[in-house]
Amino acid sequence: MTRKIFTATLGTETNTFSSLPTGLRLFEETCLFRKASYGDRVPMFGLPLAVWRKRAEARGWTIVESLCAFAQPAGKTVKKVYESFRDEIIADLKAALPVDAVLLSLHGAMVAEGYDDAEGDLLAHVRRVVGPDTPIGVELDLHGNVGPLKLDNASWIVLFKEYPHIDVKERAEEVFTILEAVFDRGARPVMGWYDCRTVGLFHTTRQPMRGFVDKCAALEGKDGVLSVSVIHGFPWADVPDMGSKLLVVADGDRAKAERLATELGREFYAMRAETQPPYATLDQAMARAASHNLPKPLVIADVSDNAGGGGASDSTFILQAMRERGIKDGAIATFWDPMAVRIAFEVGEGAEVDVRIGGKLGVMSGPALDLRAKVIGLKRDATTHGFGGSRVPMGDMAAFEVDGIAVVCSTLRAQCKSVDAFTNVGVDPSMRKVVVVKSMQHFHAEYAPVASEILYVAVPGAVAPDFRSMTYTKAPRKQWPFVPDPFAA
């Protein structure tokens, strides 16, 4: 039997503490395509659309693909921008009716002006159009904040399992496999969830998270369990749904889904303190950098300035500390600094120039640094590797040599998750003593193989991992680490 499947992508990861608004231009710079017009430059959150199209066409089914829109994380999405995208998707859906199913690639932590759960609002609109019986399958980033709007309107939700998010395609396959089970053997996905009352960051590259994620995955496909997801949540979103949860999708047995979600959720909660990443202070990181003498570089993650969490990617705290400590043979990427890049292109590669780098967005960016620098690399319309073969637009890029440190700048804001953030402009990070990446954890997949050691460093910034000092007004406060035992009577 032929089927008609409607698909779309919409999302961003909203840092409600960020002063940088998410408007139309940010979507245009990051990812804004209609009806599969992205061609070979598939964006990360467009990967599920490509997977679903391939799977559907292999079965002779029809795909109707609507909007593919995603913005680099920043502050709240402008209300009229979100509503225009939502209404465009809904108009396309109405034009495509009747459809047999809807599959959506969303982030899960998108907040717009007037909408604490923008993607939940989109799902509610979709459900009203297709009715109660049409399957709606959803793929989310594990940093989504999941609550009633999403759970009440989706038929099933599958979240990334890995942090860094190396499994975008695999989870898209999982979403489609559940859809096939619905059509081919009459499966009835139902969801059960457990609120873990925990706020934190959970690297799946480290134990005990690695073992826990593997345990959850091993339960899938057995005894009616279709999917198990650990919802990490996004702590920099001050919304009622913020926090970690455990989600189970079962075939027709909601009680089973809820029992398993509770069992796994309690296990996750019990190991909460063990899962948190170790953070070094700036002084500790500089001391380690000064003494580093191994063949492979020391990689320092500037987690607080991570563009992937809404940071400006222009803070100067670590660069200034390296210069003050006289640390040579270093490299740092990527500064979002269109003016510095423009100056570099004006004077050309090999030229020396006075340039002001970083410190532009606000107090969390640190001081702007006035430097005498040599232009050592230039690249127009650059991209870097994303997960699953996707590409990340960087705009124009320039590299400066400053006091023995290669400083890489770009005209578009994006976190430094891949090695080609350096090699695009002729800098080989594997040959440097100290490499600083403005990223929270996504860098790990490419940088761990070339590093002798990785340090996660917390300095001031829009994405500083000090959740207890943040001023929440909407997020639940009865969560760890805000209280020692949120389940106490």
pLDDT digits (tens, 9 = 90+) for 142-201: 999 999 999 999 999 999 999 999 999 999 999 999 999 999 999 999 999 999 999 999
User: 168-185 and 47-58 are packed helices; what angle lies between their axes, rounded to 10 degrees?
Assistant: 40
Q: What is d(CA 459, CA 462) in angstroms, rounded to the nearest whole number?
A: 10
Phi, psi of 192 (to 5 degrees): -125, 145
Closest by CA position to 448, among listed 204, 127, 212? 204
Closest by CA position to 434, among listed 306, 273, 325, 292? 292
Q: Is the peptide bond before 367 cis (omega within 30 degrees of 0)?
A: no
Q: Are strands 225-231 and 245-251 parallel, antiparallel or unpaired?
A: antiparallel
- How much of the chain is in helix, strand and coil states, percent to nearest 5? 35, 25, 40
> What residues contact residue 316 under an 8 Å CB cut-off, 6+ apart?
357, 358, 359, 365, 366, 367, 368, 369
Alpha helices in 186-230 (DSSP H): 209-218
Residue 251: per-residue pLDDT: 99
Q: What is d(CA 436, CA 429) in angstroms, rounded to the nearest whole number?
A: 9
Phi, psi of 423 (to 5 degrees): -70, -20
Handedness of CA 161, 162, 165, 167 (dihedral sign): negative
Q: What is d(CA 298, CA 45) in angstroms, rounded to the nearest whole number?
A: 31
pLDDT-based confidence at residue 342 (cuts at 50, 70, 90):
very high
> What residues contact residue 420 under an 8 Å CB cut-off, 6+ apart?
384, 385
Task: Tell me the per-residue pLDDT of 441-479, one tens digit each, with 9 for 90 and over.
Answer: 999 999 999 999 999 999 999 999 999 989 999 999 999
Facing residues of 10 across strands?
A: 69, 106
% residues pLDDT > 90 (the chain): 94
Residue 320: per-residue pLDDT: 98
Task: Report whether 193 contacts 249 (CB < 8 A).
Answer: no
For residue 388, pLDDT over 80 is answered with yes
* Pair of tokens at residue 429: 């990070």
* Pair of tokens at residue 165: 């998010």
Task: Tell me the per-residue pLDDT of 283-298, one tens digit each, with 9 for 90 and over.
Answer: 999 999 999 999 999 9
Residue 19: per-residue pLDDT: 87
Task: Tell me the per-residue pLDDT of 344-357, one tens digit each, with 9 for 90 and over.
Answer: 999 999 999 999 99
For residue 41, pLDDT over 80 is answered with no
Closest by CA position to 195, among listed 227, 254, 148? 148
Q: Which residue has the tokens 């079962």?
A: 250
Per domain, the residue ranges of the chain are 4-275, 280-464
Mean pLDDT of the chain: 97
Task: Tell me the per-residue pLDDT of 235-259, one tens digit each, with 9 for 90 and over.
Answer: 999 999 999 999 999 999 999 999 9
Residue 42: per-residue pLDDT: 79
Query: Which whole number is the average pLDDT over 426-446?
Result: 97
Cα–Cα distances (Å) from 118 to 193, 342, 449, in that order, read: 21, 36, 38
Closest by CA position to 377, among listed 333, 433, 412? 333
Closest by CA position to 448, among listed 314, 278, 301, 268? 301
Q: Can you identify the CATH homologous superfamily of domain 4-275?
A: Response regulator (3.40.50.2300)
Task: Tell me the per-residue pLDDT of 117-143, one tens digit each, with 9 for 90 and over.
Answer: 999 999 999 999 999 999 999 999 999
Phi, psi of 398 (to 5 degrees): -145, 145
Q: Are strands 453-457 and 434-437 parallel, antiparallel or unpaired?
A: unpaired
Torsion of CA 89, 94, 98, 104, to 10 degrees: 10
